[in-house]
Amino acid sequence: MKPSYLKSPLSYEEQTELLKSRNLTVSNESFCSKKLQHINYYRLSAYFYPFYEDANRFKDGVKFEEILQLYYFDKEFRNLIFYSIEKIEVYLRTQLAHAISQRAGAFGYSDVLMFHDQVKHQEIMNTIKSETSRSKEIFVNEYFKKYDERRLPIWAMVEIISFNTLSKIFANLKEKYRKEILKELDVKPLVFENWLHTLTYVRNICAHHSRLWNKTLAIEPKKPKNQKVFELLNSKKIFYVISMILFMLEKIDDEELNFKNEIKKLTLKYPNVNLFSMGFIKEWESLELCR
Protein backbone atom coordinates (compact mmCIF):
# COMPACT_ATOMS: atom_id res chain seq x y z
CA MET A 1 0.00 0.00 0.00
CA LYS A 2 1.33 3.43 -0.95
CA PRO A 3 1.80 5.98 1.85
CA SER A 4 -0.19 9.21 1.94
CA TYR A 5 1.53 12.48 1.16
CA LEU A 6 2.16 14.13 4.52
CA LYS A 7 4.55 17.02 3.77
CA SER A 8 3.35 20.32 5.19
CA PRO A 9 3.52 23.60 3.23
CA LEU A 10 6.43 25.85 4.16
CA SER A 11 6.60 29.62 4.35
CA TYR A 12 9.19 31.35 2.13
CA GLU A 13 11.42 31.82 5.15
CA GLU A 14 11.10 28.13 6.02
CA GLN A 15 11.97 27.22 2.44
CA THR A 16 15.12 29.32 2.81
CA GLU A 17 16.00 27.49 6.03
CA LEU A 18 15.42 24.16 4.28
CA LEU A 19 17.93 25.10 1.59
CA LYS A 20 20.48 26.09 4.23
CA SER A 21 19.94 22.81 6.08
CA ARG A 22 20.83 21.04 2.84
CA ASN A 23 24.26 22.72 2.75
CA LEU A 24 23.40 25.54 0.34
CA THR A 25 25.24 28.80 1.01
CA VAL A 26 22.67 31.58 1.45
CA SER A 27 24.47 34.85 2.12
CA ASN A 28 21.33 36.99 2.03
CA GLU A 29 18.31 35.25 3.53
CA SER A 30 15.82 38.02 2.76
CA PHE A 31 16.93 38.02 -0.90
CA CYS A 32 16.54 34.26 -1.06
CA SER A 33 13.04 34.38 0.49
CA LYS A 34 12.02 37.16 -1.88
CA LYS A 35 13.15 35.14 -4.91
CA LEU A 36 11.21 32.13 -3.63
CA GLN A 37 8.12 34.36 -3.60
CA HIS A 38 8.64 34.97 -7.32
CA ILE A 39 9.82 31.52 -8.38
CA ASN A 40 8.00 28.48 -7.03
CA TYR A 41 10.39 26.35 -4.94
CA TYR A 42 9.27 23.25 -6.82
CA ARG A 43 10.06 24.91 -10.18
CA LEU A 44 13.46 26.06 -8.95
CA SER A 45 14.25 22.62 -7.54
CA ALA A 46 14.67 21.32 -11.11
CA TYR A 47 17.90 23.34 -11.19
CA PHE A 48 19.26 21.92 -7.90
CA TYR A 49 20.38 18.57 -9.29
CA PRO A 50 23.65 19.63 -11.00
CA PHE A 51 24.75 21.07 -7.65
CA TYR A 52 23.92 18.07 -5.46
CA GLU A 53 26.57 15.94 -3.79
CA ASP A 54 23.99 13.40 -2.59
CA ALA A 55 20.21 13.34 -2.62
CA ASN A 56 18.99 16.64 -1.14
CA ARG A 57 22.47 17.74 -0.10
CA PHE A 58 24.39 20.40 -1.99
CA LYS A 59 28.10 20.24 -2.67
CA ASP A 60 30.24 22.34 -0.34
CA GLY A 61 30.41 26.01 -1.31
CA VAL A 62 27.42 26.06 -3.70
CA LYS A 63 25.68 29.43 -3.53
CA PHE A 64 22.00 30.23 -4.03
CA GLU A 65 23.01 32.75 -6.68
CA GLU A 66 24.58 29.98 -8.79
CA ILE A 67 21.23 28.19 -8.97
CA LEU A 68 19.53 31.45 -9.90
CA GLN A 69 22.03 32.02 -12.72
CA LEU A 70 21.28 28.59 -14.16
CA TYR A 71 17.56 29.33 -13.91
CA TYR A 72 18.01 32.69 -15.67
CA PHE A 73 20.12 31.07 -18.39
CA ASP A 74 17.42 28.50 -19.06
CA LYS A 75 14.76 31.21 -19.18
CA GLU A 76 16.67 33.20 -21.80
CA PHE A 77 17.56 30.02 -23.68
CA ARG A 78 13.91 28.93 -23.85
CA ASN A 79 12.86 32.34 -25.13
CA LEU A 80 15.48 32.19 -27.88
CA ILE A 81 14.53 28.65 -28.90
CA PHE A 82 10.82 29.53 -28.92
CA TYR A 83 11.43 32.58 -31.10
CA SER A 84 13.61 30.62 -33.53
CA ILE A 85 11.02 27.83 -33.86
CA GLU A 86 8.45 30.52 -34.64
CA LYS A 87 10.59 31.54 -37.63
CA ILE A 88 10.57 27.98 -38.97
CA GLU A 89 6.86 27.66 -38.25
CA VAL A 90 5.99 30.84 -40.16
CA TYR A 91 8.15 29.70 -43.07
CA LEU A 92 6.38 26.33 -43.19
CA ARG A 93 2.93 27.94 -43.05
CA THR A 94 3.91 30.14 -46.00
CA GLN A 95 5.44 27.36 -48.10
CA LEU A 96 2.62 24.90 -47.44
CA ALA A 97 -0.07 27.45 -48.36
CA HIS A 98 1.78 28.43 -51.54
CA ALA A 99 2.51 24.87 -52.70
CA ILE A 100 -1.04 23.58 -52.17
CA SER A 101 -2.80 26.66 -53.57
CA GLN A 102 -0.61 26.68 -56.69
CA ARG A 103 -1.45 23.04 -57.32
CA ALA A 104 -5.11 22.90 -56.32
CA GLY A 105 -6.45 26.38 -55.61
CA ALA A 106 -7.58 28.23 -52.51
CA PHE A 107 -9.29 25.18 -51.00
CA GLY A 108 -6.77 22.59 -52.19
CA TYR A 109 -6.27 21.30 -48.66
CA SER A 110 -9.79 19.82 -48.92
CA ASP A 111 -8.74 17.69 -51.90
CA VAL A 112 -8.14 14.19 -50.58
CA LEU A 113 -6.17 13.29 -53.72
CA MET A 114 -3.28 15.42 -52.50
CA PHE A 115 -2.87 13.28 -49.40
CA HIS A 116 -1.66 9.77 -48.55
CA ASP A 117 -4.24 8.66 -46.02
CA GLN A 118 -7.94 9.45 -46.49
CA VAL A 119 -8.84 8.64 -42.87
CA LYS A 120 -6.11 10.92 -41.51
CA HIS A 121 -7.15 13.60 -43.99
CA GLN A 122 -10.70 13.56 -42.68
CA GLU A 123 -9.43 13.74 -39.09
CA ILE A 124 -7.28 16.74 -40.02
CA MET A 125 -10.22 18.42 -41.77
CA ASN A 126 -12.31 17.95 -38.62
CA THR A 127 -9.52 19.51 -36.55
CA ILE A 128 -9.24 22.45 -38.96
CA LYS A 129 -13.00 22.98 -38.71
CA SER A 130 -12.81 22.90 -34.91
CA GLU A 131 -9.84 25.28 -34.72
CA THR A 132 -11.50 27.64 -37.21
CA SER A 133 -14.68 27.77 -35.13
CA ARG A 134 -12.65 28.56 -31.98
CA SER A 135 -10.58 31.27 -33.62
CA LYS A 136 -11.00 34.81 -32.27
CA GLU A 137 -9.22 36.41 -35.22
CA ILE A 138 -11.18 39.32 -36.69
CA PHE A 139 -10.34 38.32 -40.25
CA VAL A 140 -12.04 34.93 -39.76
CA ASN A 141 -15.31 36.50 -38.64
CA GLU A 142 -15.19 39.09 -41.43
CA TYR A 143 -14.51 36.43 -44.05
CA PHE A 144 -17.54 34.32 -43.12
CA LYS A 145 -19.73 37.43 -43.01
CA LYS A 146 -18.66 38.37 -46.51
CA TYR A 147 -18.56 35.00 -48.32
CA ASP A 148 -20.92 32.07 -48.62
CA GLU A 149 -18.22 29.58 -47.62
CA ARG A 150 -17.69 27.05 -44.84
CA ARG A 151 -13.93 26.93 -45.37
CA LEU A 152 -11.16 29.48 -45.22
CA PRO A 153 -8.80 29.79 -48.19
CA ILE A 154 -5.56 28.01 -47.36
CA TRP A 155 -3.51 31.19 -46.94
CA ALA A 156 -5.89 32.24 -44.17
CA MET A 157 -6.39 28.74 -42.75
CA VAL A 158 -2.67 28.19 -42.11
CA GLU A 159 -2.58 31.30 -39.92
CA ILE A 160 -5.13 30.04 -37.38
CA ILE A 161 -4.36 26.31 -37.03
CA SER A 162 -1.97 24.99 -34.40
CA PHE A 163 1.62 24.02 -35.14
CA ASN A 164 0.64 20.43 -34.40
CA THR A 165 -2.13 20.50 -37.02
CA LEU A 166 0.22 22.15 -39.50
CA SER A 167 2.70 19.31 -38.93
CA LYS A 168 -0.02 16.71 -39.52
CA ILE A 169 -1.01 18.31 -42.82
CA PHE A 170 2.60 18.22 -43.98
CA ALA A 171 3.04 14.61 -42.82
CA ASN A 172 0.00 13.44 -44.78
CA LEU A 173 0.80 15.25 -48.03
CA LYS A 174 1.96 13.14 -50.94
CA GLU A 175 5.71 13.02 -51.44
CA LYS A 176 5.93 15.27 -54.50
CA TYR A 177 4.20 18.11 -52.67
CA ARG A 178 6.37 17.66 -49.57
CA LYS A 179 9.51 17.79 -51.71
CA GLU A 180 8.29 21.00 -53.30
CA ILE A 181 7.80 22.61 -49.89
CA LEU A 182 11.29 21.52 -48.76
CA LYS A 183 13.24 22.40 -51.91
CA GLU A 184 15.13 25.22 -50.18
CA LEU A 185 15.89 23.28 -47.00
CA ASP A 186 17.80 20.33 -48.51
CA VAL A 187 16.36 17.81 -46.07
CA LYS A 188 14.38 14.65 -46.81
CA PRO A 189 10.60 14.78 -46.13
CA LEU A 190 10.69 11.89 -43.63
CA VAL A 191 13.49 13.56 -41.67
CA PHE A 192 11.74 16.93 -41.73
CA GLU A 193 8.48 15.32 -40.62
CA ASN A 194 10.32 13.86 -37.64
CA TRP A 195 12.04 17.20 -36.95
CA LEU A 196 8.65 18.91 -36.87
CA HIS A 197 7.51 16.39 -34.27
CA THR A 198 10.57 17.18 -32.15
CA LEU A 199 10.16 20.94 -32.62
CA THR A 200 6.51 20.75 -31.57
CA TYR A 201 7.59 18.93 -28.41
CA VAL A 202 10.36 21.46 -27.66
CA ARG A 203 8.06 24.38 -28.44
CA ASN A 204 5.58 23.06 -25.86
CA ILE A 205 8.34 22.84 -23.25
CA CYS A 206 9.17 26.49 -23.94
CA ALA A 207 5.53 27.56 -23.90
CA HIS A 208 5.02 25.97 -20.48
CA HIS A 209 8.27 27.52 -19.13
CA SER A 210 9.64 24.10 -18.23
CA ARG A 211 13.31 23.17 -17.84
CA LEU A 212 15.04 22.83 -21.21
CA TRP A 213 18.78 23.41 -20.86
CA ASN A 214 19.88 19.81 -20.06
CA LYS A 215 16.73 17.98 -21.15
CA THR A 216 17.01 14.47 -22.58
CA LEU A 217 14.64 14.63 -25.53
CA ALA A 218 11.60 12.36 -25.23
CA ILE A 219 11.06 12.71 -28.99
CA GLU A 220 14.43 12.03 -30.58
CA PRO A 221 15.10 13.70 -33.96
CA LYS A 222 16.45 11.71 -36.88
CA LYS A 223 19.92 12.23 -38.35
CA PRO A 224 19.86 13.18 -42.05
CA LYS A 225 22.12 10.89 -44.06
CA ASN A 226 23.19 13.62 -46.47
CA GLN A 227 24.41 15.99 -43.70
CA LYS A 228 27.50 14.55 -42.02
CA VAL A 229 27.78 17.29 -39.43
CA PHE A 230 24.83 15.76 -37.53
CA GLU A 231 26.63 12.43 -37.14
CA LEU A 232 28.91 14.00 -34.51
CA LEU A 233 26.04 15.03 -32.27
CA ASN A 234 23.93 13.34 -29.60
CA SER A 235 20.40 13.43 -30.97
CA LYS A 236 18.91 13.01 -27.50
CA LYS A 237 20.29 16.34 -26.29
CA ILE A 238 19.13 19.90 -26.88
CA PHE A 239 22.28 20.92 -28.79
CA TYR A 240 21.02 18.70 -31.58
CA VAL A 241 17.87 20.84 -31.74
CA ILE A 242 20.04 23.96 -31.75
CA SER A 243 21.90 22.45 -34.73
CA MET A 244 18.64 21.62 -36.52
CA ILE A 245 17.46 25.20 -36.09
CA LEU A 246 20.80 26.60 -37.25
CA PHE A 247 20.68 24.38 -40.32
CA MET A 248 17.15 25.42 -41.27
CA LEU A 249 17.53 29.13 -40.57
CA GLU A 250 20.70 29.24 -42.65
CA LYS A 251 18.77 27.69 -45.56
CA ILE A 252 15.81 30.01 -45.14
CA ASP A 253 18.26 32.94 -45.04
CA ASP A 254 16.27 34.76 -42.42
CA GLU A 255 18.11 38.02 -41.68
CA GLU A 256 15.79 39.04 -38.84
CA LEU A 257 17.36 36.62 -36.34
CA ASN A 258 21.08 35.84 -36.14
CA PHE A 259 20.46 32.67 -34.14
CA LYS A 260 24.09 31.60 -34.28
CA ASN A 261 25.33 34.80 -32.66
CA GLU A 262 22.55 34.79 -30.08
CA ILE A 263 23.56 31.30 -28.91
CA LYS A 264 27.19 32.37 -28.66
CA LYS A 265 26.27 35.53 -26.73
CA LEU A 266 24.17 33.50 -24.30
CA THR A 267 26.99 31.03 -23.57
CA LEU A 268 29.37 33.96 -22.95
CA LYS A 269 26.88 35.69 -20.66
CA TYR A 270 26.57 32.53 -18.52
CA PRO A 271 30.07 30.98 -18.61
CA ASN A 272 29.44 28.64 -15.67
CA VAL A 273 26.65 26.71 -17.38
CA ASN A 274 27.73 23.16 -18.21
CA LEU A 275 27.30 23.07 -21.98
CA PHE A 276 28.24 19.39 -22.20
CA SER A 277 25.07 18.57 -20.26
CA MET A 278 23.21 20.11 -23.19
CA GLY A 279 25.02 17.94 -25.74
CA PHE A 280 27.52 20.58 -26.87
CA ILE A 281 30.74 19.00 -28.12
CA LYS A 282 34.30 20.24 -27.65
CA GLU A 283 35.19 23.05 -30.02
CA TRP A 284 31.53 23.28 -31.01
CA GLU A 285 32.07 26.73 -32.46
CA SER A 286 34.32 25.26 -35.15
CA LEU A 287 31.47 23.09 -36.48
CA GLU A 288 30.43 24.09 -39.98
CA LEU A 289 26.99 24.99 -38.65
CA CYS A 290 28.40 27.32 -35.99
CA ARG A 291 31.05 29.25 -37.93
pLDDT of 7 over the 70 cut: yes
pLDDT tier for residue 291 given thresholds of 50, 70 and 90? low
Which pLDDT score is estimated for 285? Answer: 84
198 in Cβ contact with 220 (< 8 Å): yes
For the ranges 39-48, 143-152, 185-194, 246-255, which has the lowest average pLDDT? 246-255
How far, CA to CA in Å, does 172 sit from each of 44, 115, 142? Answer: 40, 5, 30
180-215, pLDDT tens digit by residue? 999 988 899 999 999 999 999 999 999 999 999 999
Q: What is the CA radius of gyration of the chain?
A: 23
Task: Tell me how far apart the alpha carbons of residues 256 and 254 are, in angstroms, rounded to a whole number.
Answer: 6
Contact yes or no for 230/194 (Cβ under 8 A):
no
- Model pLDDT, residue 182: 94
> What mean pLDDT value characterizes the chain?
94
- Mean pLDDT across 259-265: 93
The DSSP code sequence of 152-209 is --HHHHTTTS-HHHHHHHHHHB-HHHHHHHTTTTT--HHHHHHHHHHHHHHHHHHHTT
More confident residue, 227 or 127: 127
- Checking if the pLDDT of 99 tops 70, the result is yes
Compute the distance between CA of residue 22 and CA of residue 56 in angstroms, rounded to an integer.
Answer: 6
Q: What is the model's pLDDT at position 254?
A: 63
- CB atoms near residue 266 (< 10 Å): 15
* Whether the predicted pLDDT of 124 surpasses 70: yes
Domain segments of the chain as ranges: 71-290
Least confident of 75-89, 141-155, 218-232, 258-272: 218-232
Q: Tens digit of pLDDT for each residue in 12-55?
A: 999 999 999 999 999 999 999 999 999 999 999 999 999 999 98
Give the integer Cα–Cα distance in Å for 172 and 132: 20
Q: Sorting pLDDT into bands at 50, 70 and 90, what band is 160?
A: very high
User: Can you tell me the mean pLDDT for 49-66?
Assistant: 96
